Structure 1
Amino acid sequence: MTPSAPTAPFRQGAGRPCLDFIRTLRHRGAPGAVEELAGPAALDAWIRQFGPYDTAPDGGPDGEPDGGRADAADLLAARALREAIHRLVTAALDRGPAAADPASRDLVNAAAARPVPVPALDPAGRLRHHAEDPVTAMLAVLARDALDLVTSTALDRVRACAGDRCGALFLDTSRPGTRRWCSMNTCGNRAKKDALHARGHTPA
């Protein structure tokens, strides 16, 4: 597995926060799998991009932005939850939510039971979110989203990307429900280019 510390924003657009989260292990199951949560700083960056926290210099009540406090233990917990969510979702897709292995179900349930970010209106009329432990609170949000997904009708719209070596899960919100790619700008365009290349080299 190759570690990665992307400077560009993390991929988003899977349709559910928990699905965006499990995409931080890119090319899952392939020899060239890429770990995007390569360290605590990467986990902080993911939380700042996807979480409800204010990232301005005065974001937190102590003068520090929420979502910038991950350590090595938080990183291990985040990766463990990510894999448990992936197992929970894939099991639900195959055989229903009751098919999840007990260890994965218990891990997700335990994460979901922890406090989530608390909203508050500041004097300027802006909505701010705060948590005593921003990492744990964000993991609770993701766990709750996963539990909601696997027990809702939205599960019927979860697809695996048809892109070669991708397989990322996404929520198909298209009206006909026939979306094939996690992103047309990446996997979709790559598949089209590969198809054109193959046709161009096929003997007449």
Structure 2
Amino acid sequence: MMDSAAAPAAPSPVPVTPARFREGAGRLCLDFIRTLRYRDTAEQTEELADPEDLAAWVRQFGADPDQAVPLPETEQVKDARAVREAVYTLVTSAMSGRQVGSAAREQLNRAAAAPVPVPRLGASGTVAWAAEAPVTATLSLVARDALDLATSPALLARIRPCASPTCGALFLDHSRPGTRRWCSMDTCGNRAKKAGLKART
């Protein structure tokens, strides 16, 4: 019989660092919209408050999370927030069948015109994505994604507002029946279930 004392110890689990920004909206531009957390509620919170915040978002959502992201200028942060609000205006206008205003259109066209990250084949045979200006390139990806989403009727019909009255997020419903209600079952959905259970008991 094998001596249990001689058995190698199981490796300790590697702690998982939680994502700083919310993910899972189904499209990059919708995840970017959510950086204004709890939109249009009393708890509305700006998650892109300074250059460090914007750099962190680009590292989390950019094409190559291992690429160094230079700290953006303050004006870039203001521009990023302007792009975000233009995305929100475009998407919500398209959802309701309205034309987007010229200011939002010009903001998005300007952002989308910037170069996006490009693929580079490394010596190991793997592909990495890189950009000379990671912040500008990632905002270009966001703007291009928004333009594509807003001009795709089938996808527009699948955009939902989270059913939580305090959330304010939009998400793309990929479920087969198209009846998803929450931006995330782990947050808003779970809170709603707990509130419903408490009310019934």
TM-score range, shorter-chain basis?
0.7 to 0.9
TM-score, normalised relative to structure 1: 0.86
- Count residues with an aligned counterpart: 183
Max Rg structure: 2
- Counterpart residue identity of residue 50, structure 1: F
Deviations 1:16-51 (A, max 9, x none): 000000001111011210111121111111111111
User: Could you list the runs of 4 or more consecutive aligned residues of structure 1 that deviate by over 4 angstroms after TM superposition?
Assistant: none
2:71 to 57, 69, 72: 69
Are the equivalent residues in 2 in contact too, given 1:69–1:134 (CA < 8 A)? no
Deviation at 1:95, TM superposition (A): 1.1
* Cα distance in structure 2, aligned partners of 1:124 and 1:79: 38
Output aligned runs, 1:69-148, within 5 Å. Answer: 69-96=71-98, 99-148=99-148
* Cα distance in structure 1, aligned partners of 2:56 and 2:142: 16
Are the equivalent residues in 2 in contact too, given 1:53–1:130 (CA < 8 A)? yes
Deviations 1:53-86 (A, max 9, x none): 241xxx4xxxxx2x23312111111000000100
**Unmatched segments (≥5 aa) in structure 2:** 1-17
* Cα distance in structure 2, aligned partners of 1:68 and 1:178: 41
- Counterpart residue identity of residue 148, structure 1: D
**Unmatched segments (≥5 aa) in structure 1:** 1-6, 60-64
Q: 24-33 or 178-187, which moves further after superposition?
A: 24-33
For the aligned residue pairs, the C-alpha RMSD in angstroms reads 1.3
TM-score, normalised relative to structure 2: 0.87
